[in-house]
Structure formats: C-alpha cells, structure tokens
Structure 1
Amino acid sequence: MGSFEGVVTTGIYCLPPCPGRPRAENVVPFTSAAGAEAAGFRACHRCRPYRSDRKPTSASELVCRAIDLIAVGVLDEGNEAELAARLAVSERHLRRMFHEQVGATPDQLARSRRAHFARRLLDDTDLSVTDIAFAAGFGSLRQFNRVMVAIFRATPVELRKRRRRADRLVADGGLALRVPVAEGTNIERRLAQLARSAIAGVESVTSTRYRRTIDMDGDPGVIEIYSAATDAALLLVHVPHIEGLIHLVSRVQRLLAGEPWDPFENDIRGVVSDSDALDDLVAAYGKPVGGLEQFGLSYLFPTPTMLADYPSGLDAIGAQAILTALVH
C-alpha cells in the first residue's frame, strides 16, 4: 500500500484515511504526492494531502539523498544532470530510479514540493500571491500561476478563496506557519533534547518553545518553534525577507527530525564538548545581533569565514575542527 491513494473514478488522490472512503477497487496506490500528480490526479479537498510532507518509505539510499538535495534547493537553479553528477550517477539512471520509487522525475518532485508549500502559505498566511511565489522558490509569478493551475486546477487567487476559516494563522509579530513533521515525531521530546544542548546567546529553549538566531542570506533573523499538533509544529519566523522561505522550513523539519541545524555548527559542537567553552567561543567570535536580549538571544553562531578572520579562534577550536570546516 502506498502513502497516497488515487481514486480512478474521481481523478483525485487522498492521504489515507480520507473521510471520503473510496471503494477499494477504485483505488490506485502511490508512493508520493508527486507521483499521483504526475499520473494526472489532483489533491483531495477533504483530506488535503498537500498539508502532509510524507516521503517515500521504501526509497533507496540514492533516492533519499537526491530528495534531501532537492529539499535544500539544488534544482531551484540547477538541473537534473547536475543533481545526478553530485550523486555520481548518470541522469538517465537517476530518472529511472525516481520513476520506480517515487513515481515522478526529480524535476516533478521539486515542482510538487514548491506547489504544496505555496498552497499551505495561501491557506495559513495573508502574504500576497507575489510574495508566496518567491517564498516557495518559484522563479517568476507566471511560472507560479502555471504550476498551481497544473497541480491544483485553480489559480492561486482561487485557491486562497477556498481556505477554511480555521486555517489562517495570526501572530503578534512574525510570520506564523504550520510545519508538517514526520509521523511519530515527538516535538516535546525534541524540544527537551535541544534544551540540553542549547548554546547561550544563539538558542533559547523552554518546555514548549525553541528560539534561535539564524542567518538568512547574510541577514540575521529568528525562528520560534512550538508544539502545535501531532502531525505539525507551529513555526514563527522573524526574517528581513522571505525569498526561499521553503528551504528555511525544510531545515526546521530536519531539526525536528533529530538532525543538526547546520553541519559546521554540529562539527564544532563535537570538538568543543564543554558547554561553557562553546558559549565563550560564540561570545568571542559570533556576530552580535541586537534587540533580542529579552529572548536570551544575542549572537549568530560563527561561520567558518568568521573564525578564519580570527586566527586565535581557530587555535581555540583545534586542528580537527579546522579540517572539518575546510571539508564543508
């Protein structure tokens, strides 16, 4: 049984269990929403599968790595040949693996991800259609409209009119978003893990909320994560611009799944195991961020470039971290 179900008599696909309960003989399984869309099915209006973020459960390691690269934006400006080269396989082989395991090409998967993220923004926020297009990673408003009509059979303006009264999220400052999480994710437990390893000035964690400073294309910002429901977290974003917001949300999803926020930061944490020394390192070499003292936040975690500007900072970390930074 696939993660999604296409109903041949209606031309829609659902996320089981759907309230519509189609007859079993009319159901075709799909491993991904992109696969159902590539086969010509459109998303169900009742169970709204675009609000989920399920990945193919039986995909190979190669396909999973490709999906992770797509999630961080490799296909936003690149192409399938470049994606295949990064994975050390031919483009033809990569496409064949995707057809077999995902039911769609890498480009179709990337397009589906952008469209689903945009649909959630249309539901949850009051952002303009133009802002949503670029937040979701589309290259132009024309491309955005074309893709949304192809996948949802309606324009972005029409889709916004269909949102439910309870969908709209309103926050006192910042942009509020629902973030789908993997099935079985315990957000409260993950917040407790983050609290035990929080870096002073960079992260602030309570039993119900995680805050941290982030770098958004060279500009500082802040994210706040709350526990919202069993299948979603509530994310409050404070950033100077929202272009590429889809990739920031992907990083939040990986963080909630137990992965590090940043590979370089994670490597430094592994080398500087003493929490007080790590706090001192951030205070000495991190980029100051003003106006957030009331939240316990005051620095961006230092990047490799920041540390390279201060040789004493590299000496404090040690040779292993320097080599690791060069690798990344």
Structure 2
Amino acid sequence: MGSFEGVITTGIYCLPPCPGRPRSENVITFTSAAGAEAAGFRACHRCRPYRGDRLPARASELVCRASDLIATGALDDGNEAELAARLAVSERHLRRMFHEQVGATPDQLARSRRAHFARRLLDDTDLSVTDIAFAAGFGSLRQFNRVMVGTFRAAPLALRKRRRRADRLVADGGLALRVPLPEGTDIDRRLAQLARAAIGGIESATATRYQRTVSMDGDPGVIEISSAAPDAVRLIVHLPHIEGLIHLVAQVQRLLAGQPWDRFEAVVRGIAADSTGVLHDLVTTYGAPVAGLRQFGLGYLFPTPTALAAADLSGIGLDAVGAQAIRACAREARPRELAG
C-alpha cells in the first residue's frame, strides 16, 4: 500500500501521485493518513486521501488484528487498555507497535477512520450533519464537530460546500455510498465467488451485483453491492436506521476482501459442506422471516445461534453428525450473540 506525503511548508498531506508537486526537500513520508494527521497535517483538497482506507503495507498481525477490532467498534465505548487485553498484550506494547507501524495511537486511528468516513458521507450523500455524526460512530454532535475541525480544519457544513458536483450519489431507494476496496481486490472475481456460494433466501447474486439481508442491532435490512471502479464499489443500503453505519461498511469491505460475512455463519456453511440446498432449507426453516423484500428475491435473516442451539435440524438434508455439530457451534456462539 502506498505511503502518504506531508508537505512541511503547507501543512498538507497527499496520496501520491497528486496534482500538486512540492519540492522533495519539503516532503516527509507517513505510513498512514492517521499518522499524518497525528503529526498535525490536514488532507489535501485535490487528491482527497480520505476517500480511501489504507493500512501500512507491512503492518504486523497484531496491528492488523487491532485495526480489525477498531473497525468493528472496539474503541467506540472501550479504551486502549481494554483493546490490548483482548489481544493479550500490554497497552504500552500495543501503543508502541502502532507508533512504529501506523504513526498514530489506536485511539487516533479510530478517530481518523470516523472522520474520514464522515467526510465521504458529506461528499457523497445528502444526509444531515446529525445523521452523519451518528452513522460515523460519533457519540455527540459536539464531538463530531470538534474532530472534523481538528482533522480537516473546517466544520462539517463548510466541508460539504466543498464537495464536487460528481460526488453525490443517487439511488432509486436506499442510501448510496462509494466504498473503497482493500488494495489488490479483484472485485469481478469476488462477485463471481459470492454468486456461486449464494444461499437462497438471504442472498441474491449475479456476476455484477450482490444483495443480502443484514441485521443491525436486531433490525433487518438489505445491502446491494455492485462494481463502481477498480478501487471502489457502489453500496446501497436499505436500513431502518443508520447509527453505526461505519461498522456495516467495514463488514462489507472485509467480505469483499475474501473474509466471511459472519463467523458463525461461516462455520455453519462449512459444516453443511457448502451445500446451498441444505443451507437454503436451514435458512427458510430457522431464519427469521423479513417481509417486504420480494423485489430483492430475499425473505429471511440467517438463523441466529439462539435459533439453532436446540433446533431439531431434521428434514433439511443434514446427517446426525452435522446437526449435532451445528447445535454445538450455536451453543458456543450464543454468549457472544447475547453480549452483542
């Protein structure tokens, strides 16, 4: 992944190649946007480095795991000490690794991610400033304004006035977003993979579009993913609320990078030997039905661990060993489900 360049004379950082051409002696390099911001630089208005999500190319497994947890909201309500405990390292060691590889602390990375996500929503959507604040994971409007001014040197409404005419996305229903892809992602290949493995009832896929039901805080919704550019996808979300949308988008990015949508779902898929017929019957028998999705060809959420922990599972094509394995997996996953 590319590095970021901070220009000492202007206090601006860019993602090369940028139309601006500073003198090389005035440039210092950062491994991440968060690192540049922690050093006091603001994002360039020309190349707009906040429109991509990048971690250093040589980030260690520890930093990658911590960053994944941050993406799922580990620092929304928790702190760095609790994050370090989840990773079985000391807080001091975690901060040192982040300083060396990211150039910023875990808290600074989390703040930068929220600010960048909010800035993309200001560019691409007509959501209100209040809606954007909570969609990006901020706890209050005051905090949102403070972080945006600190990161971009301008308040949210002023930043919205700077958006470009081509930025705003329009969708026929739902909220359209432009989501940066992890570097190296072959989106056409990934969409084809998702189409081959799609489970009827919760997923609908072609070579160019993927749709699935999702659950946000227990409320059902639908996402639609289609290729938009070599480095981004067009995501349309149909949700009853958008608080914490940043975490759903991070989940989409992990899915497109080849990871499963959900760990429990992935294990159940594996036990069923990837038989879409068995999985379809599992979904339609034990998944929560969702009304009003006929236009998507969808109608269920994937069954929860609670729904499968004591389920009979007979009559859907599973042998006794497979049924027992799914129930055991569900009982193990149920405490995590209840804990949120």
Match of 1:124 in 2: 124
**Structure 1 residue 303: Cα displacement:** 0.9
CA separation in 2, counterparts of 1:316 and 1:146? 56
Q: Is the 8 A contact 1:268 1:317 kept in 2?
A: no
Match of 2:279 in 1: 278
CA separation in 2, counterparts of 1:197 and 1:47? 37
1:294 correspondence with 2:299: no
Residue pairs, 1:180-259, within 5 angstroms? 180-259=180-259
CA separation in 1, counterparts of 2:56 and 2:330? 32
* AA matched with 1:276: G
Match of 1:323 in 2: 328
Q: Percent identity?
A: 77
CA separation in 1, counterparts of 2:310 and 2:161? 51
**Structure 1 residue 8: Cα displacement:** 0.9
**Cα offsets for 1:150-184 (capped at 9, x unmatched):** 00000001000110011011111000000000222
**Structure 1 residue 245: Cα displacement:** 0.1
Q: Secondary structure at the match of 1:148?
A: helix
Match of 1:57 in 2: 57
1:87 correspondence with 2:87: yes
* AA matched with 2:140: S
* AA matched with 2:104: A
TM-score by length of structure 2 reads 0.93
Q: Secondary structure at the match of 1:146?
A: helix
* AA matched with 1:60: S
**Structure 1 residue 309: Cα displacement:** 5.5
* AA matched with 1:42: R
Q: Secondary structure at the match of 1:220?
A: strand
* AA matched with 1:325: A
Match of 1:306 in 2: 307
Change (3 A) 1:224 1:92: same
CA separation in 2, counterparts of 1:48 and 1:233? 17
Q: Is the 8 A contact 2:306 2:331 kept in 1?
A: no
CA separation in 2, counterparts of 1:8 and 1:317? 61
Q: Secondary structure at the match of 2:285?
A: helix
**Cα offsets for 1:20-75 (capped at 9, x unmatched):** 12222221111110000000000000000000101111111111110010000000
Gaps in structure 2 of 5+ consecutive residues: 334-340
Change (3 A) 1:2 1:27: farther
Match of 2:107 in 1: 107
* AA matched with 2:124: D
CA separation in 1, counterparts of 2:123 and 2:50? 11
CA separation in 1, counterparts of 2:149 and 2:266? 41
* AA matched with 2:300: Y
**Structure 1 residue 91: Cα displacement:** 0.7
1:6 correspondence with 2:11: no
Number of matched residues?
328
CA separation in 1, counterparts of 2:66 and 2:331? 23
Change (3 A) 1:293 1:309: farther
**Structure 1 residue 256: Cα displacement:** 0.6
* AA matched with 1:281: L
Gaps in structure 1 of 5+ consecutive residues: none
**Structure 1 residue 275: Cα displacement:** 1.8
Q: Is the 8 A contact 2:43 2:50 kept in 1?
A: yes
* AA matched with 2:113: R
CA separation in 2, counterparts of 1:48 and 1:10? 15
* AA matched with 1:319: Q
Q: Secondary structure at the match of 2:13?
A: strand
Moved more, 19-28 or 222-231: 19-28
